[in-house]
């Protein structure tokens, strides 16, 4: 017996050593290729800017060189990530018993689907408690779940008439009523493997690890994956690259989080938000006061009241500057305003009741902390404020920025609510607090991917919009609490979503050349090929080496072919963040299940592009015959058009693809 | 484990969590205190932390939730007499910028 185990242990050790060697070898190869790729890229892009732009056709030449610079930076970011590619294998052994809550999030998914996941969650071997977080608050689901001993959490009363913050809100609500040390988060369709916790909890032996993310993998997808649902490169080398820089990020499901880290994040965010809000409240109040003084300063009784408010505000400001505790400052400020209010006679109250109602309409429901700002105040200014209303509005402004965060259901919101994709923002903030993350590259849950084009498009748009919201609201490059590697890794993901703009140029340039002979570069000379071909080839090679046998073509196709989605994501997120417009989620008409008709209308821009690409081939043939086209340029551009067509061809397949006969299978 | 003593003094409520205020006990602590606030309404609550051996971020979260409830009902919540560990955690999360503990319960009651 003893001999046997020794042999097995030896084998294990040898196996581990073999793995170690292969990891080291692979990383060495990746680094060499990455370095060469970056040098070849520099060699090309510098030459492009300095010596090859055809300024006569600057209107296409400049966009093209910009698009190419975009792609160069993209490959640079990829190479920087790959430099630290981190392949982890088994987690260390967990040496103590931990408490775990498994949380299955749902809103409106079919009951049997949710229950399948919940049952699988309950069957996870490691001791844990299972909860369904039902944001739809469905009594039938509660009955089903409770019959099987599975807990159900729904929103508490505090959320009524307050911003719900979708899934982030759902999880924040559940954090307040569960108490496990760790939280495994699962989307309603992600069937977990029974050993998911045994395989991953060990990473938390490192006390600074806050997050372990595992891949999302889909069962209802054929090997050809026409909708590009699997993300083998992302859930693999890309997350491993980020992991190497301690920037592997949270993807919303199939991840384990440390409660202490989340709560610490929630509490420190709370402090930040309150500080911001009180300062904003003070600023706004001063403006209201100034206005009231202008309008009523002549009435001595009012002037006295306004002076009192003004002094209270000054004291509040001094207190903030001195670093006094905000709870105390705001409390005593409120008390003083109360006193001022009492001194003004009751007769005013009737006069202003109507105004206050209007005021409450404006200030009562701030969708976010930023809601009461200059715009609101300008709206206030348009009204004729009576003296008491002026005092009252100061108090209301400060009220709504109070330390109680009256406008939110919970004062502490651990999961970020600044984006429709709460996951990435949350992990970025956790990294900012100094926590670590782990990417565990083993499929431990199997889910369902969108089954048709409309659903897929909606999902991609949402992800892209969420990522762009984070970029505009909390640009990683500006986060001082992150290391440079982390900033670059987070930014890299955002950068990749800007591909839509480059894609437009990449189809327009060859079409223009073939159709009208427009030259965006000075010449397709030997110089061009000598610089472009190494750049192109070495980058492809880097891709292949990093992908290590995983398919990459589908991802490459969609990063260009979904250009209208990416562009819309950027513009709508921009409007949302800077102009306060709603993201206007595209409501996907769920007609497919009824009619099963291909939705060509959803990909009109792509069809138009494909038609233009084909037309340019026809036109260049005519121009050849007419003797208008010669030299090497048309051939380069024909090759380019053929590449574009190969890329866009996936759109046709996607439209024609419909509900699969691939029955979902769990573990 | 956590034991929560509640008593009334000078028209205010003094809450004393004894033991470990952590993710395990945070919820029941929060519920106990918010219940009490709902019943007394608008008064001052002082949390006496002198016997709180250990607090984690969930415990802090519970304190913040109690502050919110107290303010909503027109009252206030103050911290008093924190142990060294509590002081450290308050500083670590910057929560002391919002809630600054008083040295003693009496001092907290006086303000």
Q: Cβ contacts (< 8 Å) between A157 and chain B: which residues?
A: none
Task: Give ipTM to 2 decimals.
Answer: 0.95
CA closest to B96 among chain A residues: A325
> By the CB < 8 Å criterion, does B51 face chain A?
no
Q: What is the pLDDT of residue A368?
A: 37
Do the chains contact at A263 and B57, CB–CB below 8 Å? yes
> By the CB < 8 Å criterion, does B103 face chain A?
no
CB proximity list for A317: less than 8 A, separation 6 or greater = A282
Q: What is the pLDDT of residue A665?
A: 44
| Block residue for tokens 């992150």 | A482
- Nearest residue, CB atoms, A406 vs list B72, B96, B99: B72
Rounded distance between C-alpha atoms, residue A489 and residue A497, angstroms? 13
Q: Using DSSP, state whether A217 is helix, strand or coil.
A: strand
Give residue-wise pLDDT tens across range A9-68: 788 888 888 888 989 999 999 999 999 999 999 999 999 999 999 999 999 999 999 999
Q: Cβ contacts (< 8 Å) between A162 and chain B: which residues?
A: none
- Smallest Cα distance from A98 to chain B, Å: 12
Identify the segments of chain A with pLDDT beneath 70.
1-6, 344-401, 584-596, 659-667
Q: Point out which residues pair with B56 in neighbouring strands.
A: none
Return the structure tokens found at A54.
């055809």
Query: Number of C-alpha atoms within 13 angstroms, CB side, residue B101?
Result: 24
Rounded distance between C-alpha atoms, residue B57 and residue B47, angstroms? 16
Q: Cβ contacts (< 8 Å) between A410 and chain B: which residues?
A: 65, 68
DSSP category for residue B11: T
pTM of structure: 0.88
> By the CB < 8 Å criterion, does B96 face chain A?
yes
- Nearest residue, CB atoms, A325 vs list B65, B71, B96: B96
Q: Is A584 exposed, middle or buried (0-12, 13-18, 19+ CB in 10 A)?
A: exposed
CA closest to B66 among chain A residues: A404
Q: Cβ contacts (< 8 Å) between A97 and chain B: which residues?
A: none
Q: Where are the beta strands (DSSP E) in A15-127?
A: 100-106
Q: In this structure, how many other beta carbons lie within 10 angstroms of the beta carbon of residue A279? A: 14
Q: Cβ contacts (< 8 Å) between B94 and chain A: which residues?
A: 268, 271-272
Rounded distance between C-alpha atoms, residue B111 and residue B109, angstroms? 6
CB proximity list for A571: less than 8 A, separation 6 or greater = none
- Nearest residue, CB atoms, B94 vs list A260, A271, A412: A271
Q: What is the pLDDT of residue A276?
A: 86
- In 3D space, the residue among B20, B98, B89 whose CA is nearest the CA of residue B64 turns out to be B98
How many Cβ pairs within 8 Å bridge chains A and B?
95
Q: Is A139 exposed, middle or buried (0-12, 13-18, 19+ CB in 10 A)?
A: exposed
Q: Point out which residues pair with A119 in neighbouring strands.
A: none
Q: Cβ contacts (< 8 Å) between B92 and chain A: which residues?
A: 264
- Smallest Cα distance from B90 to chain A, Å: 10
Task: Confirm if B103 and B71 have CB atoms less than 8 A apart.
Answer: no
Q: What is the pLDDT of residue B1?
A: 78
Q: What is the pLDDT of residue B45?
A: 93
Q: Cβ contacts (< 8 Å) between A176 and chain B: which residues?
A: 27, 30, 61, 65
CA closest to B30 among chain A residues: A176
Strand pairing category for B12-21 and B2-9: antiparallel
Q: SS3 string of A628-644?
A: CCCCCHHHHHHHHHHHH
> By the CB < 8 Å criterion, does B95 face chain A?
yes
Q: Is the dihedral of CA A593, A145, A220, A427 positive or negative?
A: positive
Do the chains contact at A267 and B65, CB–CB below 8 Å? no
Give residue-wise pLDDT tens across range A415-472: 888 777 789 999 999 999 999 999 999 999 999 999 889 889 999 999 999 999 999 9
CA closest to B69 among chain A residues: A404
> By the CB < 8 Å criterion, does B35 face chain A?
no
Q: Using DSSP, state whether A179 is helix, strand or coil.
A: coil
Q: Cβ contacts (< 8 Å) between A263 and chain B: which residues?
A: 23, 56-58, 60-61
Residue-wise pLDDT tens for chain B (111 aa)? 789 999 888 889 999 999 999 999 999 999 999 999 888 877 899 999 999 999 999 999 999 999 999 988 888 999 999 999 999 999 999 999 999 999 999 999 887
Q: Using DSSP, state whether A191 is helix, strand or coil.
A: strand
Rounded distance between C-alpha atoms, residue A470 and residue A427, angstroms? 11
Q: Point out which residues pair with A211 in neighbouring strands.
A: A257, A437
Q: What is the pLDDT of residue A361?
A: 58
Do the chains contact at A404 and B57, CB–CB below 8 Å? no
Return the structure tokens found at B92.
């670590």
CA closest to A410 among chain B residues: B65
User: DSSP string covering A502-527, please?
Assistant: HHHHHHHHHHHHHHH---SBS---HH
- Nearest residue, CB atoms, B23 vs list A181, A328, A405: A181
> By the CB < 8 Å criterion, does B76 face chain A?
yes
- Nearest residue, CB atoms, A404 vs list B30, B68, B78: B68
Q: Cβ contacts (< 8 Å) between A270 and chain B: which residues?
A: 64, 95, 98
Q: Cβ contacts (< 8 Å) between A179 and chain B: which residues?
A: 23-24, 26-27, 58
Task: Confirm if A100 and A181 have CB atoms less than 8 A apart.
Answer: yes
Q: What is the pLDDT of residue A367?
A: 41
User: DSSP string covering A155-169, please?
Assistant: --GGGTTS---HHHH
Do the chains contact at A179 and B27, CB–CB below 8 Å? yes
> By the CB < 8 Å criterion, does B67 face chain A?
yes
Q: Cβ contacts (< 8 Å) between B95 and chain A: which residues?
A: 267-268, 270-271
């Amino acid at each position: 017996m003893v001999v046997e185990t020794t042999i097995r242990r030896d084998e294990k050790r040898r196996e581990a050593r073999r793995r170690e060697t292969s990891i080291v070898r692979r990383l060495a190869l990746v680094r060499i290729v990455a370095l060469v790729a970056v040098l070849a890229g520099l060699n090309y892009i510098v030459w492009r800017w300095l010596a090859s732009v055809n300024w006569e056709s600057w209107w296409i030449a400049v966009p093209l060189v910009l698009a190419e610079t975009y792609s160069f930076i993209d490959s640079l970011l990829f190479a920087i990530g790959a430099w630290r590619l981190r392949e982890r294998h088994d987690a260390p052994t967990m040496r103590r018993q931990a408490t775990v809550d498994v949380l299955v999030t749902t809103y409106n998914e079919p009951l049997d689907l949710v229950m399948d996941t919940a049952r699988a969650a309950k069957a996870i071997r490691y001791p844990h408690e299972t909860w369904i977080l039902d944001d739809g608050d469905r009594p039938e689901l509660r009955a089903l779940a409770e019959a099987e001993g599975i807990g159900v959490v729904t929103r508490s009363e505090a959320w009524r008439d307050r911003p719900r913050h979708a899934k982030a809100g759902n999880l924040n609500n559940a954090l307040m009523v569960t108490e496990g040390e760790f939280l495994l988060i699962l989307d309603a369709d992600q069937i977990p493997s029974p050993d998911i916790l045994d395989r991953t909890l060990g990473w938390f032996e490192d006390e600074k690890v806050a997050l372990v993310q595992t891949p999302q993998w889909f069962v209802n997808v054929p090997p050809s994956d026409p909708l590009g649902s699997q993300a083998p490169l992302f859930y693999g080398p890309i997350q491993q690259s980020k992991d190497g820089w301690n920037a592997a990020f949270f993807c919303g499901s199939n991840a384990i989080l440390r409660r202490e880290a989340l709560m610490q994040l929630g509490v420190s965010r709370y402090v930040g938000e309150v500080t911001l809000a009180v300062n904003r409240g003070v600023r706004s109040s001063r403006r209201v006061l100034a206005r009231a003084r202008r309008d009523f300063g002549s009435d001595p009784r009012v002037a006295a009241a306004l002076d009192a408010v003004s002094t209270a505000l000054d004291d509040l400001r001094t207190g903030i500057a001195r670093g006094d505790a905000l709870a105390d400052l705001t409390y005593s400020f409120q008390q003083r305003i109360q006193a001022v209010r009492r001194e003004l006679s009751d007769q005013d109250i009737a006069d202003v009741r109507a105004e206050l109602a209007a005021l409450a309409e404006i200030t009562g429901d701030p969708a976010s902390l930023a809601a009461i700002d200059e715009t609101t105040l300008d709206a206030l200014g348009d009204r004729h404020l009576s003296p008491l209303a002026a005092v009252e509005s100061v108090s209301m402004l400060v009220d709504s920025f109070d330390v109680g965060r009256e406008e939110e259901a919970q004062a502490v919101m651990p999961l970020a609510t600044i984006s429709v994709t709460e996951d990435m923002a949350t992990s970025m903030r956790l990294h900012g607090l100094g926590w670590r993350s782990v990417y565990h590259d083993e499929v431990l849950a199997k889910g369902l991917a969108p089954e048709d084009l409309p659903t897929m498009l909606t999902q991609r748009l949402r992800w892209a919009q969420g990522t762009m919201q984070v970029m505009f609201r909390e640009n990683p490059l500006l986060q001082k609490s992150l290391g440079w590697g982390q900033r670059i890794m987070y930014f890299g993901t955002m950068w990749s979503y800007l591909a839509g703009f480059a894609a437009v140029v990449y189809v327009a340039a060859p079409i223009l050349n073939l159709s009208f002979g427009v030259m965006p570069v000075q010449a397709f000379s030997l110089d061009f090929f000598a610089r472009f071909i190494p750049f192109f080839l070495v980058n492809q090679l880097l891709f292949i080496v990093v992908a290590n046998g995983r398919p990459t073509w589908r991802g490459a196709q969609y990063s260009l072919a979904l250009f209208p989605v990416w562009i819309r994501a950027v513009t709508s997120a921009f409007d949302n963040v800077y102009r306060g417009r709603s993201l206007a989620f595209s409501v996907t008409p769920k007609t497919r299940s009824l009619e099963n008709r291909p939705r060509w209308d959803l990909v009109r821009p792509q069809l138009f592009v494909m038609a233009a690409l084909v037309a340019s081939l026809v036109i260049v043939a005519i121009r050849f015959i007419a003797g208008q086209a010669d030299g090497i340029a048309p051939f380069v551009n024909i090759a380019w058009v053929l590449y574009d067509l190969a890329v866009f061809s996936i759109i046709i397949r996607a439209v024609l693809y419909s509900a699969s006969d691939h029955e979902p299978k769990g573990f | 484990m956590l034991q929560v003593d509640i008593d009334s003094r000078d028209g205010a409520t003094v809450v004393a969590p004894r033991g470990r205020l952590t993710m395990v006990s945070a919820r029941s602590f929060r519920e106990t205190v918010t219940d009490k606030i709902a019943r007394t309404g608008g008064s001052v609550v002082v949390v006496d932390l002198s016997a709180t051996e250990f607090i984690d971020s969930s415990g802090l979260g519970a304190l913040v939730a109690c502050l919110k409830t107290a303010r909503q009902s027109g009252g206030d919540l103050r911290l008093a007499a924190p142990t060294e560990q509590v002081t450290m955690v308050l500083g670590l999360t910057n929560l002391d910028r919002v809630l600054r503990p008083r040295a003693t319960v009496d001092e907290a009651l006086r303000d």
